[in-house]
Amino acid sequence: PPKCDISKLSYLSNYCCQRPSPLKCPNQELVEQLAVIMRFRDLEGEAMQMLAYEKTIATIKAFPKKITEDTLEEFSKLPYVGQKTMTKTREFLSLGHILETKTILASERYESLSLFTQVFGIGASVARQLYDVHGLRTIEQLHLFYDVDAIVDKDEDVADPDEPPEFRIPHALRLMDELNLKIPRSEVESIRDLVMSELEKIEPGYVGILVGGYRRGKQESNDVDIVIGHSDPSTAKAKITGLSKKLTRRLYKKGVVTNVMHLSSFRAPNAMRTAHWDSLEKALTVFILPPNLKNPKAPRVHRRVDLIFAAPQSFWTAVVGWSGSKMFQRDLRRWAKDKKMLKFDSTGITHRWDSKQIVASSEEDVFRILGLEYVSPEWRNA
């Protein structure tokens, strides 16, 4: 991606998409302390409070100065930094930690709820139910509760040779330790290469861009995100439609895809738009790479891989949207709505009054259409 001129951005803006947000900021420890409180609010279902913390944290990530007694005054004037943040920041400056964070980290409730929500398919409200109603505390107890061994073994016995089995909570529990391992950049690239070589066999001309945290410069990712398009604009739409199913089936037959948690086509765009942020065709999958011939004893680990399929008129908004971060993307939407009377999501940019689409021809074009300075991915870590 092209580089950007960060002197044109400002950490004082109310919008993440106008601020330069690096991967690691000078106040990273404070960010991590506040993130515990944010996470706890999320686990407790307190959506508004969680969002308030998300906004404050995003502001701090772009503040280029170390917060000290000298910079505290300037810090207090930043957007989304209020009385609560100031109290906690002062605690952090004098004690080296935030009192509430310490209490949360020591609580059994936080420990269990954060453990439970690490299982794919268990959200905060289910986790609270498991904790409050069923009295569960540990992963071992979840294994018994969901009858993991019986269900996974039965599913393997009746597996369809053509369709990858759906990934449900028992599968997620069995693979939890593996899926929690971080993915190094080299393996992210190997997964991309394997996907592209399989696409090449279906039909030449497909293009794939690694997005997500990898593109923002993370050394280790939690999953692999790839936006897939086709280089021939006149036939691309037809070559993308239905591809999620075609590609996933092929990879399943090769033993690369082991499960699918979500597979979509363009069937229900409106429902999809709310449930999954955009109406792009996608396959959210679990992969396992074939044995490494140079190093056959190397451990093979299951990985989460998100494949997003974009027709030409959606391609660059899909790349921007799926590059994240979540907060950066959130503020692209907010900016488009508040300031430009436009609607932005990964599917495209449209006028709010007639839903007419404005097609972007590059990543920089997305920012230009939205009336924003270009921000390169490594500065989108809001």
| Ranges within 291-310 binding Mn ion (CB under 5 A) | 306
329 sits near ligand TTP (criterion: CB under 6 A): yes
22 sits near ligand TTP (criterion: CB under 6 A): no
| Sequence letter at residue 135 | G
| Shortest distance (Å) from residue 240 CB to ligand TTP | 17
Piece in contact with Mn ion (CB under 5 A), picked from 39-47, 118-126, 220-228, 338-346: 220-228
Catalytic site residue from 88, 246, 337, 340:
88
Nearest alpha carbon to residue 279 among 269, 288, 267: 269
Q: What share of the chain is helix, strand, coil (3-state, %, to 5)?
A: 50, 15, 35
| Ranges within 203-222 binding ligand TTP (CB under 6 A) | 212-213, 218, 221-222
278 sits near Mn ion (criterion: CB under 5 A): no
| Shortest distance (Å) from residue 306 CB to Mn ion | 4
CA dist 37 → 34, 53, 99, 196, 349 (Å): 5, 8, 10, 41, 34
Residue nearest ligand TTP, CB atom distance: 324
Which two tokens mark 300?
């093979």
Angle subtended by helix axes 99-106 and 83-95, to nearest 10: 80
Quick one: 54 or 306, whose CB is closer to Mn ion? Answer: 306
CA dist 290 → 48, 165, 306, 319 (Å): 44, 19, 18, 28
Tell me if 66 sits within 8 A of 27, measured CB to CB: yes
Helix (H/G/I), strand (E/B), else coil: 343:
strand
**Is 3 annotated in the active site?**
no
Nearest alpha carbon to residue 207 among 117, 108, 311: 311
324 binds, among ligand TTP, Mn ion, none (CB under 5 to 8 A by kind): ligand TTP
Number of H helices, E strands in the chain: 18, 10
| Shortest distance (Å) from residue 213 CB to Mn ion | 5
Would you call 3 exposed, middle or buried from its count of C-beta atoms within 10 A (0-12, 13-18, 19+)? Answer: exposed
164 binds, among Mn ion, ligand TTP, none (CB under 5 to 8 A by kind): none
Quick one: 164 or 324, whose CB is closer to ligand TTP? Answer: 324
Q: Count Cβ neighbours within 10 Å for each residue of 241-274 and write b for 16 or more, e otherwise.
A: eebbeebbbebbeeebbbbbbebbeeeeeeebee
| Shortest distance (Å) from residue 83 CB to ligand TTP | 30
Please state, in angstroms and rounded to a whole number, the distance separating the CA atoms of residues 308 and 207: 12
| Ranges within 128-167 binding Mn ion (CB under 5 A) | none
223 sits near Mn ion (criterion: CB under 5 A): yes
Residue nearest Mn ion, CB atom distance: 212
281 sits near Mn ion (criterion: CB under 5 A): no
Q: Render 218-268 in DSSP notation, one character per residue.
A: -SEESSEEEEEEES-TTTHHHHHTTHHHHHHHHHHHTTSEEEEEEE--SS-
334 sits near ligand TTP (criterion: CB under 6 A): no
348 sits near ligand TTP (criterion: CB under 6 A): no
Quick one: 131 or 277, whose CB is closer to Mn ion? Answer: 277
80 binds, among Mn ion, ligand TTP, none (CB under 5 to 8 A by kind): none
Please, which residues bridge with residue 259 across strands?
Answer: 286
223 sits near ligand TTP (criterion: CB under 6 A): yes
324, 335, 364, 382: which one binds ligand TTP (CB under 6 A):
324
114 sits near ligand TTP (criterion: CB under 6 A): no
Quick one: 225 or 331, whose CB is closer to Mn ion? Answer: 225
Strands 303-309 and 357-358: unpaired
Query: Applying CB under 6 A, which residues contact ligand TTP?
Result: 212-213, 218, 221-223, 225, 276-278, 321-322, 324-326, 329, 346
Active-site residues: which are they? 88
Query: Applying CB under 5 A, which residues contact Mn ion?
Result: 212-213, 222-223, 225, 306
